[in-house]
Structure 1
Amino acid sequence: MKFISFAVAAVATTFSAVSARPVLRRANSCAFPWVANNTDNVVPITPSAKNAGWAMSPDQECAPGSWCPYACAPGYYSAQWDPSATLYNGPGSMNGGLYCDANGVLSKPFADRAYCVPSMMNAYIENSLSHSVSACQTVYPGNEAMIIPSVAQANSNVSLNIVPNTYWLGVSSQFYVNLAGSNATQCVWGNDDKPVGNWAPYIFGGGQGPDGNTYISVQFNPLYTAKGYKVSDAYSVRIQCESGFCNFPAGGECKCEGGKCSVDNGCTVTLTGDAKAKWVLY
């Protein structure tokens, strides 16, 4: 889903390091300035790899003269991106996060915004399985790798980042949801010999439309089925209304159970106004 949103004015300022620590610099990259469990709700991604914590591929550095996306905790979204990026596809679609200038100094494009902002907080995963499940959000704007983890522990819940319609170009959030027994390490760009990341069995989507309603969805991942993995072997998922008015497809339900979805190619539920809902894994 892609929705048109209002433009937001940009104010560029020099990045102030977290907790008043000095900005770290290396000759050929901008260092990641956060540690784990910081008050900005920024989550380091594979910090021991070349990306050093940035929401980029593990072998990719935050290089001078480029934009460097970062990940936020479950239920939060990154409120920083290139204000001049106006293309869904092409160079602009990669320009999320902070700007690393030629001198290795980071800049924050929207000075009046936090780094991570609470999402709509109106949809979450309820995992009734006996094993954990990781939902892997794609980085967008960014390289669209599914590397931002939200892990629902066994018999527990986790919030998902459902973005408002003021998010970059009005785009929605997308999550690749792994098999039972998965954790944050399975939020990777994988390959067809193992069904994790972009080969995970499910894709969840969510975002607020220009009408103010929120749209959440579930479908089987076409890559998973095309490879020959059996969706009937995966757990089942249903979207369940928690409060308010949720508009379901014809038939009054939205679920994927026993290898078949209640609507061909997946289904979408509309959360009207302040309604809340959940993806139930069972």
Structure 2
Amino acid sequence: MQINGLITIAMAGFAAIAAAQPHKHHLHLRHAAMPRDALNDYSTTVDQPAGPTGSPREDKVHSTERFEFAATKSSAPVASKTPEAEAQGKRKAVSSGSGMDRDFPDGKISCTEFPSEYGAIKTDWITKTGWSSIQKDGGNDDHIGVCTDGALCSYACPAGYSKAQWPEVQPASGESMGGLECKNGKLYKTNSSFNKLCRAGKGTARVSSKLDQHVAICRTDYPGSENMVVPLSCTPGSTQELTVPEASNSYVWQGKPSSAQYYVNNAGISLEDGCQWGTPDGGLGNWSPVVIGAGYSDGKTWLSISQNNLNSDPLNYNIRIVAEDGSKISAECSYENGKFSNGDPVGCTVAVDNGGSARFELY
């Protein structure tokens, strides 16, 4: 697969959301001080290291802000187009999650049992048992679909929450690993500093829809396979919590805390089609037109909208970032008729004042 260069935006110590790349796409915060006019400072670097033995791997793209892409495609087929009627009929009811406040009991639950009672939500269009990814022996066992001894079994969390389990020691290759570990047929936590499976975000951003069609918004499963499979279902007229990871307790990649990336599909696409690996001609999943991002660092919430550089087609609706409850945002940031409010073809980023909140409005 041919991959374009990575373009990153930096602003006041925050590495903002970049144009979406295929498959692995996540944001790491940078804390070095930068001038305010760095908002439009773009840089491009490309690197393509080899993948782990036995793991089919896409080209990996790096930048100084550490957006990183790699690993195995989902084996599930993706339709090139999904009519609205079919999307409405196929759309699964995604659990809001239960038991987020329950400590996970090491060695008590079988690897064959998905831990729904501890906050995790199933993505059973990815694996037959609901895991969002299964990593084993340096490869990806999503196609097998069951959690077996020696595997890291990852899971999605409800809107507003992030996965809290990942090994402290990560591969030197830079590949991210996350989830529960299966040992002797039982599940074990991998993050000893946190006893629960899901951790609440900052709670400072939402997504609201004024559309009359369903929208599938798909977060990358990170750390883990980094497939865009963590679902956020935006039904017509609804407002959904967007997870805003806090830098102080987010996953850290080589010293850099991370934020959240969401692939935004065209309206009318089901979660099953939109929240997985896409195909070059399909415009879905990692090939969806737009990516939005969110993170919290240095006392501010940072939000952005960016064009996926794999897909120059416009979305079939518009997006704008709107301040809530008297909050202030640093600049206008909107995407209308395929164009960004700042006139840049890549995207725009804003900071929300300390203690404030904002929403991505779909219209």
TM-score normalised by the chain length of structure 2: 0.63
1:224 is aligned to 2:306: no
Q: Which position in structure 1 is the counterpart of 2:181?
A: 99
Give secondary structure in 1 for the equivalent of 2:311.
helix
Can you give the 5+ residue segments of structure 1 that lack an aligned partner in the other structure? 6-12, 18-22, 25-29
**C-alpha contact (below 8 Å) 2:234/2:240 kept by paired residues:** yes
> Which amino acid is the alignment partner of residue 348 of structure 2?
C
1:49-76: per-residue Cα shift (whole Å, max 9, x none)?
44x1111174144332232211101111
Q: CA shift at 1:86, angstroms?
A: 7.5
Alpha-carbon displacement from aligned partner over 1:100-132 (angstroms, at most 9, x marks no partner): 22x232111336432112211110111000011
Q: Would you say 1:62 and 2:147 are equivalent positions?
A: yes
- 1:83 and 2:163 matched: no
Q: Which residue does 1:42 correspond to in 2?
A: 120
Per-residue deviation, residues 175-220 of structure 1 (Å, max 9, x unmatched): 00111112321211110221111111210111112x1211111112
Q: Cα distance 1:48–1:208, how it changes in 2: closer, same or farther (>3 A)?
A: closer
Q: Does 1:2 align with 2:2?
A: no
Question: 2:106 corresponds to which residue?
Answer: 15
- The separation in 1 between residues aligned to 2:340 and 2:158, in whole angstroms, is 30
Q: Sequence identity, in percent? A: 33
Q: 1:192 aligns with which of 266, 269, 280?
A: 280
Instruction: Report 1:156-175 matches (<5 A).
Output: 156-165=238-247, 166-169=249-252, 170-175=257-262
TM-score, normalization: structure 1?
0.80
**How far has the Cα of 1:247 moved from its partner?**
3.2
Residue 123 of structure 1 corresponds to which residue in structure 2? 205
Deviations 1:220-273 (A, max 9, x none): 211121xxxx31x52110000003543333xxx100101111131111111222
CA distance in 2, matches of 1:144, 1:279: 23
Cα RMSD for the two superposed structures? 2.3
Distance 1:98 1:244, change over 3 A: farther
Q: Which amino acid aligns with 2:234?
A: A
* 1:208 and 2:296 aligned: yes
Q: Give the conservation status (yes or no) of the 8 Å contact 1:244–1:274.
A: no
Give the superposition deviation at 1:16: 5.3
Q: Do the aligned partners of 2:126 and 2:133 also contact (CA within 8 Å) in 1?
A: no
Contact 1:47–1:54 (8 Å) recurs in 2 = no
1:183 to 258, 270, 280: 270
1:7-50 per-residue CA deviation (whole Å, 9 max, x = no partner) reads xxxxxx96255xxxxx23xxxxx324334xx4x32111117844
Answer with 180-189 or 109-118: which moved more.
109-118
* Structure 2: 5+ residue stretches without partners: 1-26, 32-103, 135-141
Paired residues, number: 248
Which of the pair has the greater relative contact order for Cα pairs under 8 Å at 6+ separation?
A: 2
Tell me by how many angstroms 1:96 deviates.
Answer: 0.9
| 2:349 match | 268
Q: Which has the higher strand share?
A: 1
Residue in structure 2 matched with residue 53 of structure 1 by the alignment: 130
